Every structure is written in structure tokens, then in C-alpha cells.
Amino acid sequence: MGSNRETKRAELRERLIEAAEIELRDKGLAGLKARDVTARAGCALGALYNAVEDLDMLVLEVNARTLAKMGTALRASLPGPDAQPVESLQALAEAYIDFALENRRIWLALFEHRLPEERTVPEEHRQSHSVLIDGIAAPLARLRPDLSPEALALRARTVFAAVHGVVHLSLQGQFVGVPLQDLKSEVRALVEIMARRAG
């Protein structure tokens, strides 16, 4: 396997991304070190900078995969099309919490990783974030037929961000966060409130 240059390059890139994901799962974003990643991937330190631009880009690659997995998990959680909209939203929220709990560090990396201020996230990586809100607009539309498509898209982001905020503060154990043991019931209540109300 991997005889020509292109292939070997892609294989090393792949090994590096996988190694980075393992390191990230084990030690979190702050514990991700270039030397540990390259050691795990079985290459020299400098090879990293030929396979990817730098460590930040490696994190973006891991994040893209995390988002893809999250998308799978969220879609799998959706009940059939004849379910009540509020049930779809509850299912998405619960699946989001479960994913975050089961993949805490790589999920956190999605939101804690920052590029230096002058650098900008490549377009393809920006788009992979849409899985977070893709499932929300449809059930929301049935609950809020009064909203225009633009207002709906906006509101879907708000609903996601609200749920995410509760989960984020809770999972980090920040002092103002909801205790973990109450997280699911509070998010259920929040989603219920956001869904049930009219007009």
C-alpha cells in the first residue's frame, strides 16, 4: 500500500489526524503537543509541518470529524416524520447532551479552540458546523408557521445556542453552570418552554 507520493502523503496526514484525535480525547486541547502527536503517528516532529499547515489546522481537522460524527448521532436520534415537533427537538437536545458527555474533550475542543486573531478559518471547515443546527429548523417551522424562513433560520441558531450554553457551562463545571445531575431535566424544561409557547 501507499507506493506513490500522493498516497503516502495522504496516509501520513491521516495518521496524524488520528493521533491528534487520540491525544485530544486523552488529554484535552491544552494537553495536545506536537511531539506527542508525531510520536504517536510514528514520524519525525518536522513531518507534521509538511503534512498539514500547523497544529491549529490539525485541530480543525479533528474538529471536522467530530462534527461529522455529531451529525450522524443527531440524525440518528430524530424520530419519524409523524412525531410531534417538540419531540424532535427534545430528541436532538438529548442526543447533543449524550454526545457531549461521551466525547467530552473532543466536543469541548470544538468550542475552545481558537485561531490566532489574524488567521481565519477556511470556508470548508466553517460549513461543517452546520450539522449543529441542521435538524432544528424543520420542527421549529411547524411550531412557528408565523416566522419567515430567514427568521426561522435565525431562531434555529438561537435555540441551539441556548441549549448549548446550558450544556457547556454545566459540563465544564463552571460555578454558574447547572449541576451535571440536573442537566438533562433542565434542558428538557428549556426545550419544552421554547417549543410549547405560541406566537
45-84 binders of its own copies (CB under 8 A): none
104-123 binders of DNA (CB under 7 A): none
From the list DNA, its own copies, none, pick the one residue 84 interacts with, judged by a Cβ distance below 5 to 8 Å according to partner type: none
Are 90 and 191 in contact by the 8 Å Cβ rule? The answer is yes
Query: Which residue among 34, 64, 101, 169 contacts DNA (CB under 7 A)?
Result: 34
Our CB check for DNA shows the closer of 94 and 112 to be: 112
Q: How far is the CB of 159 from its own copies (least distance, A)?
A: 8
14 is a contact residue toward DNA (CB under 7 A):
no
Listing DSSP states for the chain in one string gives ---SHHHHHHHHHHHHHHHHHHHHHHH-GGG--HHHHHHHHTS-GGGHHHHSS-HHHHHHHHHHHHHHHHHHHHHHH---TTS-HHHHHHHHHHHHHHHHHHTHHHHHHHHH----TT----HHHHHGGGHHHHTTHHHHHHH-TTS-HHHHHHHHHHHHHHHHHHHHHHHTT-TTSPPHHHHHHHHHHHHHHHHH---
33 is a contact residue toward DNA (CB under 7 A):
yes
51-70 binders of DNA (CB under 7 A): 51, 54-56
Interacting residues with DNA (CB under 7 A): 3-5, 8-9, 12, 32-35, 43-51, 54-56
Interacting residues with its own copies (CB under 8 A): 28, 30, 111-112, 114, 116-117, 121, 126-127, 129-130, 132-133, 154-155, 157-158, 160-166, 168-170, 174-179, 182, 186-187, 189-190, 193-194, 196-197
